[in-house]
Structure 1
């Protein structure tokens, strides 16, 4: 029997977002100034249980489905972009670590209060095999939330022993490293998503036991339901889509509030009385609603296939990539419209309109929302696309491919 399509935790998680909302809004400017999430917001997220939203129940998580995750990340990003992004990153890394680490490592990482995570899943370091584990060194960018993380879950290449060149793609690992073994660099001085603390980090010769590692990108599912059997990019898709939808909605909330009191200089009339603005606002509402419906449709069908044990075909992968890029583009367009319509007052740091504009355009630079998603979809439509390793099915715990992921 397949898993339920929607998580029974949905209402509890959305209620938790509402409890955190006021704290996140009140400290949004502080997060910007600090260039990392304000401590009060981190504390509120920890006490809410939201960091556990996507992790398996076996490690203390809510094991929520992708559609519930989309709504949770959307709601948090609508309240505050930095809080929404930071929550998404930590919660999804907890899902990856919780679903894939060996039992001994999972017990260590998830002991005590539910942990916070940071880390880039791009192999920017080297993990040299030694007795009992690996010696890890490297430097990684975009460690969102690293200043409040307890663990860094990162990725490295395992160089072949003896220095011989690999016969095929290099072996790669994800590794869980306690924050005490991580050096954080103060690099996050950026235009957008300033409050996320996405600094570079270094790891210099840390020993990582075998139990705190798993294969990358196709680690076996060791615990949890069907969610943890789907490949990496599919598992992460709801997070990026939910964030973009939340920022787009916040931008429309803000411009609708500003319009009645913003007096345009030349006609000396309120923006909210202009027919042209009404038309643009209506179009923006339709575009965001259409993008949201597309997201629920695409991710819902992906989830239905995963629950039933079906594999994801090339056409499914094209849609998973398309929906992330398309929704991000729509949200960026809407944030741009709202910012321009806000006039000169939207320039000021206190204006949420400029924050939505900057943060949403920062999100367009993420690897999950690149333009080559359209190219891949075009090749898939013509029957000439090939799967990238990041789209490959996961290994089964015994080393064989799981049928449901292929």
Structure 2
């Protein structure tokens, strides 16, 4: 039984059709979940299906062949995929965010090289500046090593954050995967199916056309979607994945409750008052987190639609909300996990996968106590300045 806590935003016919197509693939997503963990990356047939549905280009400008969904519609689709399989949802999240940024911000010459008519590229990488770029003729020599490049095995292009040597300028270097060394590092306890390996570059020449000046720059193409504050353009992706996983954990625990008893004379879990209370609280908390992330995403979208300036206070507050959402989803699943008994420890039991996957999601660079510190500091300064 599936409980959709908040109806999807389906006013746009494209979104309704896309959601319907994703829901038809539920058996495929769910059937491949264990295979993805065993292979430590999404199985090839799942990647092919997601390509065919356009699920890696929901945040790519329409002029390049993408869907350019509004943020709420995007979250609807991402949450739905994550409900079926966390690794597929995560891979869609990374593929969309990385590809979408390059698609909107890279110079025209680079776009002409990368975005051919068919197939559109899937990108992986890391924006954190772990590399250096040294001026070299008509481009730069790039070296560095980047971790957590989710989806790298099914991606064709890689993106690495760099600092231009001798300056404070940060850029994104875009290279064909064939020019990188992929390191088999993804031996982990959660989100195993995401293929989040490291990659490195050693003195690779990157033409200036494939050096993306993304940090703090205006987009070169695309509509209102790309006028959101840059940090919100990326940070709003994690919450729907976390909520999708937590929703599924609650539903799976409901399913387990009727058949789970403690000891030969123990009461059936579904009949225990403590469980009835805790599962209801869990479902309410997940619903609250779903509403909270949709509110945060809507606020970022409103900034883009109205052209209003985004204050540091607002952006930091919304990032703090996204941090809270992931933390709460993990806590919800942690609290109901104990009701699964010994069965929940089985590597084939979905409850332990939900717990591990959310624990792994909490380690993402965008989910940090520092987000609360920044938000609190900004608000304290605002109050001290006499602004309500």
TM-score, scaled relative to structure 1: 0.89
After superposition, the CA RMSD in angstroms is: 1.8
Mark the runs of 5 or more structure 2 residues left unpaired by the alignment.
1-8, 384-388
Deviation larger for 257-266 or 185-194: 257-266
Is 1:245 paired with 2:239? no
Q: What corresponds to 2:165 in structure 1?
A: 159
Q: 2:141 aligns with which of 122, 131, 135?
A: 135
Q: Is residue 215 of structure 2 the alignment partner of residue 210 of structure 1?
A: no
C-alpha spacing 1:277/1:76, structure 2 compared with 1 (3 Å): same
Q: Secondary structure of 2:381's match?
A: coil
1:13 CA drift (Å): 2.4
Equivalent-residue separation in structure 2 for 1:5 and 1:373 (angstroms): 32
Query: Does residue 49 of structure 1 match 2:54?
Result: yes
Alignment of 1:1-400 (within 5 A): 8-111=13-116, 112-160=118-166, 166=167, 170-265=168-263, 267-383=265-381
Q: Deviations over 1:105-155 (max 9, x none)?
A: 112211121211110111101111112111111111001010110111221
Question: Paired residue for 1:404?
Answer: none
1:166-186 CA distance string (max 9 Å, x none): 4xxx11111211111111111
Deviation at 1:332, TM superposition (A): 0.3
- Whole-angstrom CA distance in 2 between matches of 1:44 and 1:231: 32
Equivalent-residue separation in structure 1 for 2:10 and 2:246 (angstroms): 26
Instruction: List 4+ stretches of structure 1 deviating above 2 A.
Output: 4-9, 229-232
Instruction: Report the CA distance shift for 1:292/1:343 in structure 2 as closer, same or farther (over 3 A).
Output: same
Structure 2 CA distance, aligned partners of 1:7 and 1:115? 25
TM-score (norm 2): 0.93
Provide the C-alpha distance between the structure 2 equivalents of 1:340 and 1:116, rounded to a whole number of angstroms: 39
Moved more, 19-28 or 118-127: 19-28
| Mapped partners of 1:377, 1:365: distance in 2 | 19
- Which residue matches 1:391? none
CA offset at residue 6 of structure 1?
7.0
Q: Kindly state the Cα deviation for residue 378 of structure 1 after the two structures are TM-superposed.
A: 1.6
CA contact (8 A) 2:10 2:16 kept: no
The number of residues matched between the two structures is 374
Q: Secondary structure at the match of 1:367?
A: coil
Question: In 1, distance between residues paired with 2:133 and 2:11?
Answer: 39
Residues 179/338 of structure 1: CA separation in 2 closer, same or farther (3 Å cut):
same
1:115 and 1:198, CA in 2 relative to 1: closer, same or farther beyond 3 A?
Answer: same
SS of match in other structure, 1:206: strand
Structure 1 unpaired stretches of 5+ = 161-165, 386-406
